[in-house]
Chain A
Amino acid sequence: MDLKYTPEEEAFRAKVRAFFEAELPADIRDRMRLGKRTRKDDLVRWQRILHGHGWGAVMWPTRFGGTGWNVIQQHIFEEERADIGAPPQNAFSLRMLAPVLMAFANSAQAEYFLPRIIAGEDWWCQGYSEPGSGSDLASLRTSAVRHGDHYLVNGQKTWNTWGQYADWIFCLVRTGTEGRPQQGISFLLIDMKSPGITLKPITMLDGEHEINEIWFDNVRVPAQNLVGDENKGWTYAKFLLTHERTNNAGIGSCKRALKNLKQIAAAQVSHGRPLIEDSRFRDRIAQVELELMALEITNLRVLSATATESRALGPEVSVLKIKGSEIQQTLAELQMQALGPDALPYLREALEMDWVADPSFAEHYRPYAPPLSGQYFNLRKTTIYAGSTEIQKNIISQMILGL
């Protein structure tokens, strides 16, 4: 047991860092660092740069074009990515759908979709939740009825993150009504250009358009777009969620946010001294830093154990999801609080790079300030999405503890 990075790992980190420094476009980096609005173009451009370097999918095995990196290498990559301000990659396709395709899709599906994902050609969104099916996902009702060589899909999905950018959506649909609700679910890949699909934006509490509702009205989906077996979709869905939750730990992003928080707390003044010298506030930073220190090691312990034992990730990722989401929220809250009254202005236009404050006040505005309250509000989602904290605790108590 050793927490020190080996010389090889340090060299790897230097290589990753050098690549980011050389290849990350400055405009993308600036938008990321200042919390500006995310654009599809940023993510696609960055994905193509990574792919061009052979690093399009750091979590994939080499036989699918991934880097084949071990968990420590992936951790280093993610840390450096967040630290320098490179965008995250599209998790829906790379981290969630792709493992399902690798494990359960037929070769034609894998050979068609995986290369397009890694090359940044297709944008995928997730079609899981429905208005009546949130935590009780298995109660979903969007139906797919087989007619010869195609399915006819009817129903409604919701909370589809970045659905407005999507070329494709992977959907859980009901293909059977016999037995337990879990038994009649299938995993279907649907082209977003299909006739009968309507997408409607949902405005979130920060005023931003990140999520959507999607309606399906007699949408024809070729039967060849069914992944695995009909009515086995629940198995694939849970497999996917396990991968989704691993990603939710977000260690790299949290480390970056902690750094930002300390910088803000050093720049703001309270009781005549830098805020960070106020022990009431500093102790709260210390507390979340401790949680993050622990989670970084817990995360690596879990991933290393699965790698050593050559087994799939299990319900222990719920621990990572619960803690990671709480830490993200706390860091966002403390950054907002550190700003004090400067957290009050609601300036949507400030989320664009070319925004400048009224010249007579320009000195007053710190460029990082306007997005921070919005980020706090936005990140309330983290303990709700991908299985709420309460669902994660159900999973721990049932799957790990056997209660």
Chain B
Amino acid sequence: MDFNYSNEQLALQETLQRFIGRDYGFERRRELARSPLGFSAEAWAQYADLGLLSLPFPEEFGGLGGNAVDIMLVMELVGRGLLLEPFSSTVVMCGGLIRDAASEPLKRSMLPRIGAGEIKLALACYEAAGRYELSRVACTAVRGTEGWRISGRKTVVLDASSADYFLVSARTGGDVADDHGVSLFLVGRKAAGVTTFAYPTQSGGRAADLHLVDVAVDASALIGAPGEGLAVVERAVDRGIAALCAEAVGIIVALNEATLNYLKTRKQFGVPIGKFQALQHRMADMFIAAEQARSMAVIAAVYTDSADAAERRRAISGAKAYIGQAARLVGQQAVQMHGAMGVVDDLIVSHYFKRLTMIDLSLGDVDYHLARFSDMLA
């Protein structure tokens, strides 16, 4: 067991911290969130230069061979800086999925371009009213003479509006909620029959609904074995969850800092409000929640790479459920303790709060993951 970061990890952390301090202030972030693209293309190019976009890929594909702890460290700062770029979608989830499950030629064609910042990807794995059930796939893929033809709808595809490719789960067999019969396809954004309905999310990012009408793809677009795509998607979502956990921890810590600072400076009744024990004890609860949440994010990260699916699921769902609760406590109480300042758009506090709330609702919320964790106990 070892709880220390390596020197390389510490250097990466410092670089990213400097970048956020210099180029990604709160005002700049608000402008970006309101811009048509919804994030910074320059920042994306810088991430490529820093090696972030190739961080988890093997060296033979131009990557840095980083592990899940590296991703955790980056995602924590993504949280602190409220970074809007589609790092998790493109690199962690889709990049990770291609690395884990795609054919050699596909890896060779995709991973270096992701690493260079040339292409972005989004994972299209949820459908209307299916909530977080990855097996609930009504979208179909029918085998044709030269490949597959895909039809159906995907909802709230995170970071879809800027994506060049989608990884789409579609049914090639079985009934609508069967575990088997789900296959995974790489679909170009510009393919004939693809339309998107794009919108901003509550926390400033971008997402879109996807409508696919008889979209033709090559046989090579199939990732993994036909009908066996569910495990592949689950693994990618698990990576995304571990990343969200770390992002949430970054926000929780930053929000605690902001709240603590407010308690020390805001005066009422002639004293800083942090002198009141009711607020002190709540702040202590938030500090404890942050420490415990960090421990769970570490567990999530370390077990993301575990080959044992049950062990991985237990860690990932446990962490997401636990951190969701910690985030709710810290988010709501940070707003409460900021008083009316907590409910205005001008302060970063409300933005942190909204992001934490959306993190809980993404890739399975507290109840969903608590149930998964709990079901494994019996």
Residues of A near any B CB (own CB < 8 A): 1-6, 9, 72, 262, 274, 276-277, 279, 282-283, 285-287, 289-291, 293-298, 300-301, 304-305, 308, 316, 319, 322-323, 390, 392-394, 396-398, 400-403
Contact = CB atoms under 8 A, between A and B. Distances in A.
A300 B260 CA distance: 26
Given A1-B298, A6-B1, A279 B374 contact: yes
19 contacts: A1-B2, A2-B1, A2-B2, A4-B1, A262-B377, A276-B377, A282-B377, A283-B370, A285-B374, A286-B321, A287-B370, A289-B318, A290-B322, A298-B294, A304-B4, A308-B4, A392-B284, A401-B287, A403-B275
Contacts of B299: 3, 293-294, 297
B302 A394 contact: no
Given A1-B3, A396-B287, A323 B292 contact: yes
Contacts of B4: 1, 304, 308
A319 B375 CA distance: 29
A270 to B, nearest CB: 13
Interface of A is mostly: helix
A291 to B, nearest CB: 7
Give the most central of A276, A287, A295, A401: most B CB within 10 Å: A401
A5 B293 CA distance: 22
Given A290-B373, A298-B292, A402-B264, A3 B1 contact: yes
B274 interface: yes
Contacts of B9: 1
Contacts of A279: 371, 374-375
Given A294-B296, A296-B295, A323-B292, 16 more contacts: A3-B302, A4-B1, A6-B1, A279-B375, A283-B370, A290-B321, A293-B299, A300-B1, A301-B298, A304-B3, A322-B288, A393-B285, A394-B277, A394-B281, A397-B274, A403-B260
B252 interface: no
B170 interface: no
B280 interface: yes
Contacts of B318: 289-290, 293
B70 to A, nearest CB: 10
A285 B284 contact: no
A396 B291 CA distance: 12
Contacts of A276: 377-378
Contacts of A403: 260, 263-264, 274-275, 279-280, 283
Give the most central of A2, A289, A323, A397: most B CB within 10 Å: A397
Contacts of A282: 374-375, 377-378
Interface in B270-312: 274-275, 277, 279-281, 283-285, 287-288, 291-296, 298-299, 301-303
B287 A400 contact: yes
Interface of B: 1-5, 9, 69, 260, 263-264, 274-275, 277, 279-281, 283-285, 287-288, 291-296, 298-299, 301-303, 318, 321-322, 370-371, 373-375, 377-378
Give the most central of B263, B284, B296: most A CB within 10 Å: B284
Contacts, number: 133
A101 to B, nearest CB: 30
Give the most central of A277, A294, A323: most B CB within 10 Å: A294
A5 to B, nearest CB: 6
A354 B178 CA distance: 56
B378 A301 contact: no
A399 B277 CA distance: 14
A291 B292 contact: yes
B374 A283 contact: yes
Contact of B298 (A3, A277, A394, A402): A3
Contacts of A72: 1
A363 to B, nearest CB: 26
A276 B374 CA distance: 10
B291 to A, nearest CB: 5
Contacts of B280: 393-394, 397-398, 401, 403
A399 to B, nearest CB: 11
B288 A301 contact: no
B370 A300 contact: no
Given A397-B281, A397-B283, A1 B378 contact: no
B295 A295 contact: yes
A358 to B, nearest CB: 34
A390 B280 CA distance: 10
A294 B322 contact: yes
A136 B2 CA distance: 39
B378 A9 contact: no
A319 B288 CA distance: 6
A2 B4 CA distance: 8
Contacts of A277: 378
B284 A393 contact: yes
B181 to A, nearest CB: 28
